[in-house]
Amino acid sequence: MLLLNKEIATTSMVAHDLPVFPGQAPPENVQNVGSTSTPSPSSSTMASSQLALGLDLSTQQLKILAIDISNLETFYERSLTFETDVPHYKTVKGVYTNDAEHEVSSPVEMWIEALDVILTKMKEDNFPFHNVVALSGACQVILLTLWCSWD
């Protein structure tokens, strides 16, 4: 049986903390430990680009990609791996396995915290959130499968 843990997450994301960067220059060197990102864009690009932001939540990682809609080029990209960036959940490849019960689960709170962490890293990279005009998301579909014997 494959189960998805549906515990209620207690970590909150604070939308009002998202930055606004009019005329602000990006940092000189962006260091990323355990995750990857593209370099911060120039301040002139930040001021004029309209961006489509896509989020992809898979079993092992969370990725964010921003596309400049005027030329369809990648503007920004960052990924976060659950084992590396939120290691306190102690998952293996993003999941807990219970071999005795034939169960695999993922902590929902980990996914929410990962989103909070990646948005914070984007803020540290001076990502121009105010230029986002479209938002999309995708995630791996995990089905609940039950095998029952009707005696």
Q: What are phi and psi of 122, to 5 degrees?
A: -65, -40
Report the alpha-carbon distance of residue 122 to residue 88 in Å, rounded. Answer: 21
Q: In terms of DSSP H, where are the helices of 57-96?
A: 82-85
Helix (H, G, I), strand (E, B) or coil at 120: helix
- The model's confidence at residue 51, banded by pLDDT at 50, 70 and 90, is very high
The whole-angstrom separation of Cα 114 and Cα 81 is 9
Please, what sign has the CA dihedral across residues 36, 63, 73, 13?
negative
What per-residue confidence (pLDDT) applies to 78?
Answer: 96
**Which pTM does this prediction carry?**
0.63
Q: How far apart are CA 32 and CA 26, in angstroms?
A: 15
Per-residue model confidence (pLDDT) at position 107: 87
pLDDT of residue 108: 86
Residue 25 reports pLDDT greater than 80: no
Q: Look up residue 53 and give its two tokens.
A: 């932001």
The pLDDT of residue 139 is 82
150 or 135: whose pLDDT is higher?
135
Which range among 30-34, 54-58, 109-113 shows the weakest confidence by mean pLDDT?
A: 30-34
CATH top class, domain 37-139: alpha beta
**Is residue 20 pLDDT above 60, yes or no?**
no
Are 61 and 73 in contact, with CB atoms under 8 Å apart? no
